[in-house]
Amino acid sequence: MHWLYLHFPRLQLDLFEQLHPEQTGPTVVIDGTDNTVCQLSAAALTAGIKPGMGLAEITAIHAQTCIIEYAANSENCQLEQLATTLYAIASDIVCVASNGIAINLSPLELYYQGLDNFMALCKRSLTVRQVHFHYGSGATIEIARVLARSHFDRVESEPSLALNHLKNCSLQATELPSKEKEQLNRIGIRTLGQLIALPLDEIGKRFNNQIITYLLAIKGVKQPPYSLFHPRKVFSQYLELPYAVESAPRLSRYIAIVLANNCAYLQKRNLATDTLQFELQQREHDNLMFKVNAGTPHHHLSEWQMLIDLKLEQLKLDSPVTSLTLTCDQLVEFDPENLSLLQSSYSRHAENMLLGKLLARLGSDSVKTVEQVNEHRQDYVVQQACALHKAPACSEANGLQPVWLMVQPQPLTEQTQIVYGPERVHTGWWDDHPVKRDYFLALTGKGQRLWVYRDDQQHWYVHGYFG
Amino acid sequence: MSASISSLIKHPLVFRGRDHRHSADGSELRLPFGQTNLDKACAGGVPASGVLSIRALAGQGELQLLNNVLLQKAGTQKRIIWLPNRLQLNPNWMCQTPYQQQSWVVNTPNEADALWACEQAIRSQACCCIVIYLAQVEPKAARRLQVLARQYDCLVVLVHPGNRSPGALPVNIDMALSFDMRQWFVDLHRVTGAWPQQHIAIEHPLPASNDAIVNAFRQFSSNDVTAIHEVS
């Protein structure tokens, strides 16, 4: 077997730099368990900050350093996205820890007619994603990993050649626990070559089985089992925000990242969706969930972004948002509309896009078609106005009907002249909402045509207007 | 200065380069109201694209007046968007119209959202006509809708009371309905391709009346043989 290992030393920082390109000063990521630097930007390196430094040291060196807390969840999600991207060019992929991807090169050498072709493609795919990485190769994942963490950045044509380079790698690049590394340093063993040279049974007397298993893998004797990566059947991505966001429209730039991944996921599979579900984790309140619906399933980034921006304008946050999750599980096959060349410019797609915009900004109940209601009580005609769906053609007329109805009839207070009526409506005794009214068409002095009624107490009300 | 320019612009023979909606013989496509006096005053009717502003109170029958125009527009089979104000559109009335199936009713929480929805509907090119009701209209908003509606070949019918919009709006037709002693009139504050006119008499019949019953009683109550009831 021949494995390639890609080591991503600063995934969280890479994402931060993508989201905030205007941030040019020193930036570090702090491990919350011991408050030491685990990732740092080029500007931070230039300023003299080193990995492992504490907060006090950092601020003493450069007071304006931007500090971000390490989030393993966020890195895991980024790694999953990278693995999904690489899945398009390689099949046997293993995600290792939160910052490494191993790829089995053995089947790819034949497929790509040489490892150089594959490596060029791999580097280009990762460069597009704007992530820093180092790589190495070997007979086992552990060998490749040590070389990658030592910044070897070369793929040998034969796995056995990697063993020669392994000997000069520092113990710091291995996965040995810190305590064991310190122990070995004290007795003068600082490189992997020195460690491998020791007899295994002597090492076994002083260290536990975990170390022995690791050394066997390093020597290429036996590799522990790993599960291969498979992309999810539905899209879901979690994103930790570098800062807590208080205003919903400001979430747009962060949502754009996960949305781009979602659209790429859909396009590669020739899928589309008309619903995106978002979950916002708020600092002091429960998670806020909302959906964005489009009028028609599609996978176009710009159109989705516009609908999401419309939704965010109306969204109110209870407290600052610290992270978000996008889930897209309602997938259909993408079926674009075929338009005739000679047809007029009207298309159902335009109609559906309009519908999506209206629903996103005004709410899911804002757009309705009209269907005849089998009800003589005008109050219930208004309440039963149907939700959006294809309206059936109406079969029969329903007598004289005003254009506009008042949800709540108002007492008639102005002088009017009755010009038509009465039409008696006496119904509803079976459902405890009886109505007994005499409806008239009345005319005001200004020519307004009112739909008025007189109830059984002889009170007069205005119920509608003729448009 | 702007007053003199506006009267110059209103001259029917002044051609504006942006006006490009024309029929085959070079004249602009217009949709007649179906009323001779009014169509003549409007140089043939309502321009097929642009804004038609109607100043009318609730219940003055503005949609009845526009019925012919809406029917012609509905022939394109594109959507008709209704943006009501405070009142609810009666589904049973809509079902009696020929354009029920192509109509969408969009409810908005405020007038700013209504204007936004109108603008989006115009830009989508999925709509042939938009009927929007507002409490008041700013000339700037009306102008914006006019430009968009002309550009995207859409008819926008803007209905408002008119009491808070002094002066003519910068649209194709700005008209007001008025009622005076049983006769209806239309005042044209602005018409593209024609001069403004006041007091144009129109026929605006009631949707229904008891006239047939009253006439029957009058006819038969005078004869002692056929009289059944007295009519007061």
The pTM of the full predicted model, rounded to 2 decimals, is: 0.70
Q: Do A26 and A42 meet the contact criterion of CB atoms below 8 Å apart?
A: no
pLDDT digit string (tens) for B45-79? 999 999 999 999 989 999 999 999 999 998 888 89
- Token digits of residue A153: 């950045």
Touching B: A residues 62-81, CB under 8 Å: none
| Ranges of each domain in chain A | 3-25+65-218, 235-333, 404-465
Touching A: B residues 129-148, CB under 8 Å: none
| Partner residue facing B61 (CB), from A354, A419, A466 | A466
Whether residue B228 lies inside any domain: the answer is no
List the domain range (segments joined by +) for residue B142.
28-206
- Token digits of residue A292: 């964005």
pLDDT digit string (tens) for A166-204? 888 888 888 888 888 888 888 888 888 888 888 877 777
Measure the CA angle with vertex B105, ends B100 and B108; round to 5°: 170
Q: Do A141 and A18 meet the contact criterion of CB atoms below 8 Å apart?
A: no
Residue with tokens 């991207």: A85
Question: pLDDT tens track of chain B, all 232 residues?
Answer: 555 676 666 555 565 655 444 444 556 789 999 999 999 999 999 999 999 999 999 899 999 999 999 999 988 888 999 999 888 888 888 888 888 888 999 999 999 999 999 999 999 989 999 999 999 889 999 999 999 999 998 999 999 987 766 788 899 999 999 988 788 999 999 999 888 999 999 988 888 888 777 777 777 766 666 555 554 4
Whether residue B9 lies inside any domain: the answer is no
Whether residue B227 lies inside any domain: the answer is no
Q: In DSSP terms, which residues pair with A278 in a beta bridge?
A: A290, A326
Q: Is the ipTM of this complex over 0.85?
A: no
CA distance B166 to chain A (A): 20
Whether residue B3 lies inside any domain: the answer is no
Touching B: A residues 448-467, CB under 8 Å: 448-450, 464-467
Whether residue B166 lies inside any domain: the answer is yes
Whether residue B76 lies inside any domain: the answer is yes
Convert A131-164 into a string of H (helix), E (strand) and C (coil).
CCCEEEEECCHHHHHHHHHCCCCECCCCHHHHHH
Mean pLDDT, range A122-127, rounded to an integer = 90
Whole-number Cα distances in Å, A88 to A85, A230, B58: 6, 11, 63
Question: What architecture (CATH level 2) is domain A235-333?
Answer: 2-Layer Sandwich (3.30)
- Token digits of residue A45: 């390196």
- Provide the 3-class DSSP secondary structure of residue A188: coil
A358 CB near a chain B CB, below 8 Å?
yes
Q: Does domain A3-25+65-218 have CATH number 3.40.50.300?
A: no
Alpha-helical (H) ranges within A275-329 are 301-314
Domain pair A3-25+65-218 / A235-333, same fold: no
Average pLDDT, chain A: 85
Whether residue B118 lies inside any domain: the answer is yes
Whether residue B191 lies inside any domain: the answer is yes
pLDDT digit string (tens) for B93-115? 888 888 888 899 999 999 999 99
> Whole-angstrom Cα distance, residue A19 to residue A12?
11
> Whole-angstrom Cα distance, residue A251 to residue A312?
8
Number of compact structural domains in chain B: 1
